[in-house]
Amino acid sequence: MLTLALVLALLVLAVVVVPGALSSSSSSSSSSTGLYSPRDPLEVLAAGTLERSIFNSSSAWVVEFYASWCGHCVRFAPTWKELARDLQDWRPAVMLGVLDCAEKSNQKICSDFGITGYPTLKFFKAFSKKPEDGIRLFHHGDDIRSLRESVIATMERHKEVWPPACPPLEPISAAELNGFFQAYGVTYLALIFEKGDSFLGREVTLDMLQYENIAVRRVLKSNEELVRDFNVTAFPSGFLLVNNGSCSIIPVHMNSRALYTDFLRRLPGVFKGNTFSPTMLPSAEPETTTTPWRVADRRKVYMADLESAVLYTLRVEAARFPRLDKERLSALKQYVTLLVKYFPGRVVVMNYLRNLDLWLRPRTNISQNEWEEALRNKPELPYARLPENPLWVGCQGSKPELRGFPCSLWSLFHLLTVQEALLNPHDPSPSEVLPAMRKYVQYFFGCRECAEHFEGMAEESMHKVKHKEGAVLWLWSRHNRVNARLAGSPTDDPRFPKIQWPPQDMCSSCQVIINGRRMWDEREVLRFLKTHFSRGNIYLDFIKRGHPRMVRDLDERNHEAEGKLEEGEGGDENGRRDGEKFEEDQKGTEKPEHEEVPDKKTNLERSGVPELHKPTIIRMGTRTKEQKEDIVDLDIFSEQHYKSKALKMAGQASRWRRRNKRDIGLVLMEDEGQQPFDDDDATWERLREKGWRAQQLIGAVGEEVEKEEGGFIVRKNQWFRILGVGFSQLDISLCIVLYFLSSMCLLGMYTFFRMHMRYHKGRSGYPVA
């Protein structure tokens, strides 16, 4: 009985305690505090506190601008914290701060301060007034000593604006030494004799800044007069002078800053003053918003991660630069064109990317304001939009600074290389994804150390890739190389460790054992990658979609537009009604004389196996201009004609079709006797249960739905539509009837002449050979 009671007590304790532990763990992992906290001996700045802290300040400031997702920043954060602890006695002469540029609220001010890579260390002299006053803090390494010496050297280069609280760091002269005690009224004066390139004297001087009744000055080896007077033979050496005229050697016989400082602070009558309190400065309060943990399946690719990568590359990475031109603008154009061609996004996202691609093509110089305006989701284009905020699902980390954007960017690039190989299976030309990806990383990727590592790998072997499947394998092998290099580092998420991918539980045939060694089977790896990054493996979980009424409103607008075009009512060359304006360009820019029409490609492959894909009947948010040349693009013509026919046929009464209910989720729910609701995540799951795959769901909103015994399927009579381009059903029926009649006529003529020949052969007068 006692054992049974103990077991029951343990079970109750587990039920009560474990959920609480899990909840607190989830909360702590999702709270957005960046890499630093107010408990660190530095100032955690934000957009609202940065300028009022460093501008017109009597202190010199050294600020680290970082991104919490940047691997180099994660590895550098402990060093910066240690430096802050090392220099905390230098305040208020020198202040250290940090600002997280990955936070959405801080991105604008990071751009205003000219931050284009992470981490960036900037020094602001005392009484700075504008962002341009900040200068890059150059240092020889990421160790504490080199950083400390760089701060001193940079401060000495700006002696014209010296922090009032900072003691002089220049060497003392014999004339100044003679009347020093009368001038400064202190009890002790420590003289440190050192060589000209030594930082010991300056560091000890700053270490003693907050202590009263003592002063520290340095004497250079080149000052022969003082060196001779004190009979100094070893450098560094220290002497302690007292205001009563006594002089003694400081008992430190090595170049040790800590020993000198400790000796001087222990002197009788030396005490720490109250010249500075950390509470004098405003501090940024950390955000404690908690995001629920999203349960993700690593066998899936999530559209939320892919769209977040696109969002971050365009609105954050590319928006940091004050001007886009030359090679950087060319790299951006290639990247956006690549997304238009190969990114299997949702309809609204692809509309957005096509519009952006058309806007970019004619431009040779783009200012930061123009770019931000071009990227804005415009209310007049409700069906061409990007998500406002990134959402990590498969790429979420156990902490906000882990995984996230870098993980999603790798996924995006893997997806693009695979889609390029799948859509061009017989094209022997080299990959266009790899060069565009290389240029993006070179010109835009914020983590500069990561960009340099990637450029090194690209320079080593990217030119050897000869075909598109080779590009898929090249990126896979380099990603595994990066994982091997970073495994176990501070950037490695313990919950999602960096491994050689794919693991055996995901692809058992990708690894083979040869002579006792485990090797990769690249053919199996390629097959796995094509399946894993196929369109059929992209899931729309956690994405908030609009209300189904949005789709019906769009269909009604398209019906109206089609009707007016057919009736010949007033409309411009793009099919818009009189008075309807579309914002082709940004404010103050001219519309290009000729706009290129983007290629219209039919996505025949979505899951590794070619299959027909019916284009959506949702009309694009913008319409390309008609070509002025007398050349007809059959792809564009057939698609426009199909849309027109599909919109007409949708209005016809049918037993199994829905007239004004284009949203497949709404149709399904009504068939099951349920009420529609705004958040249709459950609807999409029901569609999956009925056999719908991602290639039918992505871009399927607005397509015709036909009911059969097994559920809902998309009509697949595309060959009929291609053969029937430009003809109505009546025209096709008449053609079939005429073909049949002509065939019968030819058969009758053949029969008549055959019988006629037999008749003449039977007559006696017919010549015989």
As a CATH number, domain 43-161 is 3.40.30.10
Q: What is the pLDDT of residue 594?
A: 40
Q: Is pLDDT at 296 greater than 60 in this prediction?
A: yes
Query: What is the average per-residue pLDDT within 383-405?
Result: 90
Q: Is pLDDT at 191 greater than 90 in this prediction?
A: yes
How many angstroms separate the CA atoms of 492 and 517, rounded? 26
Of 208, 215, 218, the C-alpha closest to 187 is 215
How many angstroms separate the CA atoms of 218 and 202, rounded? 7
Residue positions counted in the chain: 769
How many angstroms separate the CA atoms of 45 and 64, rounded? 10
Instruction: Round the average pLDDT of the chain to a whole number and report it.
Output: 76
Q: Is pLDDT at 241 greater than 90 in this prediction?
A: yes
How many angstroms separate the CA atoms of 28 and 375, rounded? 33
Q: Which CATH architecture has domain 174-275?
A: 3-Layer(aba) Sandwich (3.40)
Which class for 721: exposed (0-12), middle (13-18), buried (19 or more C-beta within 10 A)? middle
Q: What is the pLDDT of residue 123?
A: 95
Work out the pLDDT band at 763, boundaries 50, 70, 90. Answer: low
Tens-place pLDDT, residues 522-546: 999 999 999 999 999 999 998 876 5
CA angle 499, 393, 377 (to 5 degrees): 130
Q: Is pLDDT at 176 greater than 50 in this prediction?
A: yes
Q: Is pLDDT at 182 greater than 60 in this prediction?
A: yes
Q: Which of 15-24, 272-281, 634-643, 759-768 has the highest mean pLDDT?
A: 759-768
Cβ distance 714 to 705 under 8 Å?
A: yes
Work out the pLDDT band at 34, boundaries 50, 70, 90. Answer: confident
Q: Hey, how many other C-beta atoms are within 10 angstroms of the C-beta on 609? A: 13
Catalytic residue among 73, 110, 450, 510: 73
Whether this prediction's pTM lies above 0.75 is answered by no
Place of tokens 């026919």: 645
Instruction: Please compute Rg for the chain using Cα positions.
Output: 37
Work out the pLDDT band at 31, boundaries 50, 70, 90. Answer: very low
Tens-place pLDDT, residues 582-632: 334 433 434 343 444 444 443 433 333 333 333 333 344 443 333 333 333
Q: What is the pLDDT of residue 13?
A: 37
Work out the pLDDT band at 566, boundaries 50, 70, 90. Answer: very low
Q: What is the pLDDT of residue 567?
A: 45
Tens-place pLDDT, residues 324-366: 999 999 999 999 999 999 999 999 999 999 999 999 999 999 9
How many angstroms separate the CA atoms of 658 and 44, rounded? 57
Query: What is the average per-residue pLDDT within 159-170?
Result: 90
Q: Which residues in 730-752 are b (16+ Cβ under 10 Å) and which e? A: eeeeeeeeeeeeeeeeeeeeeee
Tens-place pLDDT, residues 702-738: 333 333 333 333 444 444 444 454 555 666 778 888 8
Q: Which residue has the higher pLDDT, 340 or 20?
A: 340
> Is 70 one of the annotated active-site residues of the chain?
yes
Place of tokens 């990603």: 479
Inter-CA distances, 762 with 276, 498, 756, Å: 131, 94, 10
Cβ distance 346 to 698 under 8 Å?
A: yes
Q: Report H helices in 544-586.
A: 548-567
Q: Is pLDDT at 157 greater than 50 in this prediction?
A: yes
Cβ distance 213 to 271 under 8 Å?
A: yes
Task: Domain 301-539: state its class.
Answer: mainly alpha
> Is 247 one of the annotated active-site residues of the chain?
no
How many angstroms separate the CA atoms of 747 and 753, rounded? 10
Q: What is the pLDDT of residue 755?
A: 84
Query: What is the average per-residue pLDDT within 437-442?
Result: 94
Of 87, 75, 748, 110, the C-alpha closest to 450 is 75
Q: Which residue has the higher pLDDT, 91 or 614?
A: 91
**Three-class DSSP category at 385:** coil
Q: Is pLDDT at 685 greater than 90 in this prediction?
A: no
